[in-house]
Amino acid sequence: MSSFQLVKQSLEGAGQDHVLQFWLELSEEDRDVFLQELVKLDLKGLKDHCEGAAKAAASKSSILDLDMDPVPPEFMGSVRKSDTKSLTAWEDEGFLQISKNRVGTLLLAGGQGTRLGVQYPKGMYKVGLPSGKTLYQIQAERLCKVQELADSKHGSKCTIPWYIMTSEFTLAPTGKFFEENNYFGLESSDVIMFEQRMIPAVSFDGKVILQGKGKIAMAPDGNGGLYQALLDNNVLVDMKNRGVEYLHVYCVDNILVKMADPVFIGFCVTKGADCGAKVVEKSHPAEPVGVVCRVQGVPQVVEYSEIPLEMAELRGPGGELVYSAGNICNHFFTRTFLQDVSEKFQDQLKQHIAIKKVPFVDAHGNEVRPSQPNGIKMEKFVFDVFPFSRNFVMFEAVREDEFSPLKNADGASTDSPTTARNSLFAQHGRWATSAGAMLLDHHGNQIPPSASDDCPPAQCEISPLLSYFGEGLEFLKGRRLVTPFILDENTAESLRTQQH
């Protein structure tokens, strides 16, 4: 039996024979391409995938009657609440592990910037900084800096490999972008890109959506597709060969992310954790972020839509929210934990549904861009592995220092290029003023580093190659900095020369 006949038989068995309705209209070349795509599909699991998606979309998400508890204090660390001695010890431990080449970073970058209004990977987006830097460049330079800090502390020459999980949509443009920019000062062999799997989008009646006459509408399988992708691309083998024992895993869109944060890494290693989550305090009870907690004693993220309102509003004796640990997709994993999950547990990961507007061809072969959601994309989430952890810990960061995501186009009230840019300006302004500088407008008037309702923050941008978390800026003491102000290595050298 030919490949085509086998595929046709499998599609008919899955109730998806409409996929081939335009076969006779395709050129020989297009048929070959389409057949290759169909052969790669999990045709055996297609029936279950389509039926499961339709059934999940039809069932209403419900508020759960949860047996919830906060993560106990002994499994928690906090930038604000832990004592200085502990924070310093964790940072020292983190730098030690980095200096020994035991730490890697893993970026989840499979999505396009569609919500931002662009058709390229989100990491290539420029948020409007005076320097013109993209998210990828900011992250690469932070990685360079944290390696340099570890080297200077321990007299080492260390490397933090950067694993970047892309998708079919983002692999080629991301690779090209890094090549054109000489990997932003990193060694190309230490930037390892790999691709997650794609799965078919499904209509509400359980049919695979045709994007073109010879193309199925495919979507990445969510950031929880990481675990399958690690196996598919031998990434765990690469980590083992490099001696990487600990991974910092994060999402591309957080402009304030601390790459391979030594404090977080050191905290998790000191606690003997196999899995850790960095969180920020929720801004208010109804903030639409998942909550890291325990359900029946097992760590997990509970979606905000699943928590009863009275539970979300519950407050402790000091007036603080009991369930305040907002999940920001910023995690620690040991390599052995990732190996276990990938080989033993990933089939048990929960499937989540996303209702989307999916371009399709109608019965006459006309391309349609729907104005209303018409399709279901199934995805797994990276944090759904928490229940498999033997020793789970949580670390609370300060939101204004570590979390400002970029999700929406300008005009949105939150998570836009403007809010992300202003978060960075405010942070860098705080660093400059803490070092003893004064920020001025072009009239010479002093302006505060942080924003207020009627005043955006001063436009002060400090290169990550100069400072990772505000350190090393003593030469700014007594300086009057007229904004917009970019502090890069050349400007810093000039200022230091003036001091002498």
Contact in structure between 149 and 158 (CB atoms under 8 Å): no
Rounded Cα distance between 294 and 312, Å, is 14
Q: Looking at residue 119, what is its pLDDT?
A: 82
User: Considering only the top CATH level, what class is 68-402?
Assistant: alpha beta
3-state secondary structure of 45: coil
> DSSP letters of 6-41?
HHHHHHHHTT-GGGGTTGGGS-HHHHHHHHHHHHHS
Class of residue 350 by CB neighbours under 10 A (exposed 0-12, middle 13-18, buried 19+)? exposed
> DSSP letters of 200-259?
E-EETTS-BPEEETTEE-EEE--GGGHHHHHHHTTHHHHHHHHT--EEEEEETTBTT--T
Model confidence over 55-106: pLDDT tens digits? Answer: 878 876 666 667 889 999 999 999 999 999 999 999 999 999 999 999 999 9
Going by C-alpha positions, the residue among 355, 390, 347, 338 that lies closest to residue 165 is 338
Strand 392-397, strand 76-78: pairing: parallel
Peptide bond into 457 cis (omega under 30): no
Would you say residue 20 has pLDDT above 80?
A: yes
| Tokens matching residue 402 | 């570590």
Rounded Cα distance between 152 and 156, Å, is 7
Q: What is the CA radius of gyration of the chain?
A: 24
Rounded Cα distance between 430 and 437, Å, is 10
Model confidence over 26-47: pLDDT tens digits? Answer: 999 999 999 888 888 877 788 8
pTM above 0.85, yes or no: yes
For range 16-21, the mean pLDDT:
91
Query: For the chain, how many residues are written?
Result: 500
Model confidence over 124-173: pLDDT tens digits? Answer: 999 999 999 999 999 999 999 999 999 999 999 999 999 999 988 899 99
Rounded Cα distance between 196 and 219, Å, is 10
Contact in structure between 176 and 204 (CB atoms under 8 Å): no
Whether domain 417-499 has CATH 2.60.40.420: the reply is: no
Contact in structure between 308 and 285 (CB atoms under 8 Å): no
Q: Looking at residue 447, what is its pLDDT?
A: 85
CB atoms near residue 340 (< 10 Å): 18
Contact in structure between 336 and 298 (CB atoms under 8 Å): no
Q: Looking at residue 288, what is its pLDDT?
A: 87
Rounded Cα distance between 151 and 493, Å, is 21
Contact in structure between 146 and 465 (CB atoms under 8 Å): no
| E-assigned strand segments in 125-207 | 162-166, 191-195, 198-200, 202-203
Model confidence over 353-386: pLDDT tens digits? Answer: 888 899 999 989 899 999 999 998 888 999 999 9
Domain locations in the chain as residue ranges: 3-44, 68-402, 417-499
Q: Looking at residue 188, what is its pLDDT?
A: 97
- The per-type count for the chain, helices as H runs and strands as E runs, is 14, 24
Contact in structure between 94 and 261 (CB atoms under 8 Å): yes
- Which residue is it, tokens 């999402």? 251
pLDDT tier for residue 180 given thresholds of 50, 70 and 90: very high
Q: Looking at residue 64, what is its pLDDT?
A: 62
Whole-angstrom CA distances from 74 to 139, 218, 296, 337 are 32, 44, 18, 21
